[in-house]
């Protein structure tokens, strides 16, 4: 995990714009994209689990469990090995929170994609200084496309959100 922090900080602090530096930034961008997607999913899944436990606790007259929290680290498959990827806490908390809001139906799929993409744009353009921002939430974009629902039409959707990881990542 210390290596994950060091790798992120090294890439963010790169001053040069050589071909090699751009490649390193793009690689980190792909890892950050995977981190954001997994953190959003974790926020949705852990919130669903928390909701179930809180409901049971309420029915049994017990105190509600602590709310789930975001992790700055995600384990990502890179080639044939798993590596840890780091994002600063405020970024991980935001992605996790968006997943939680989506799970609680406080955000539509379109608004979740929009907010997560804004977060990805911030990381891409300002942290990693990439020329083009990476795209997040492919699994949810594909789900909307397969339902032939344009993201704009989803703004007033009242349907229950699907599990964000149903065979999509």
Domain boundaries, the chain: 2-156
Q: Which residues pair with 84 in a beta bridge?
A: 75
114, 141 Cβ separation under 8 angstroms: no
Whole-angstrom distance, CA of residue 61 vs CA of residue 104:
23
The model's confidence at residue 151, banded by pLDDT at 50, 70 and 90, is: low
Which of 48-71 are b and which e, b meaning 16 or more Cβ less than 10 Å from the residue's Cβ?
bebeeeeeeeeeeeeeeeeebebb
Q: pLDDT for 112-125, tens place per residue?
A: 999 999 999 999 99
Q: How many CA atoms lie within 13 A of 122 on its CB side?
A: 14
The model's confidence at residue 59, banded by pLDDT at 50, 70 and 90, is: very high
Residue 149: pLDDT above 60? no
- The pTM score is 0.83
Residue 150: pLDDT above 60? no
The model's confidence at residue 160, banded by pLDDT at 50, 70 and 90, is: very low
* φ/ψ (deg, to 5) at 59: -65, -30
Mean predicted confidence (pLDDT) in 79-100: 96
Task: Count the residues in the chain.
Answer: 169
Q: pLDDT for 18-48, tens place per residue?
A: 999 999 999 999 999 999 999 999 999 999 9
What mean pLDDT value characterizes the chain? Answer: 89
Residue 72: pLDDT above 70? yes
Check residue 104 and report its DSSP letter: T
């Amino acid at each position: 995990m210390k290596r994950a922090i060091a790798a992120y900080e090294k890439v963010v602090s790169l001053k040069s714009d050589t071909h090699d530096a751009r490649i390193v930034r793009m690689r980190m961008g792909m890892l950050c994209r995977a981190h954001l997607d997994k953190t959003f999913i974790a926020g949705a899944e852990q919130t669903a689990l928390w909701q179930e436990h809180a409901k049971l606790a309420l029915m049994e007259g017990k105190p509600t469990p602590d709310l789930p929290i975001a992790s700055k680290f995600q384990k990502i498959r890179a080639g044939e090995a798993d590596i840890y990827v780091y994002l600063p806490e405020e970024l991980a908390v935001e992605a996790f929170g968006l997943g939680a809001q989506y799970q609680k139906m406080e955000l539509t799929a379109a608004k979740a994609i929009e907010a997560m993409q804004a977060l990805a744009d911030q990381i891409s353009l300002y942290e990693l200084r990439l020329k083009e921002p990476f795209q997040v939430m492919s699994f949810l974009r594909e789900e909307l496309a397969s339902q032939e629902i344009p993201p704009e039409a989803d703004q007033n959707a009242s349907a229950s959100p699907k599990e964000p990881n149903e065979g999509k990542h």
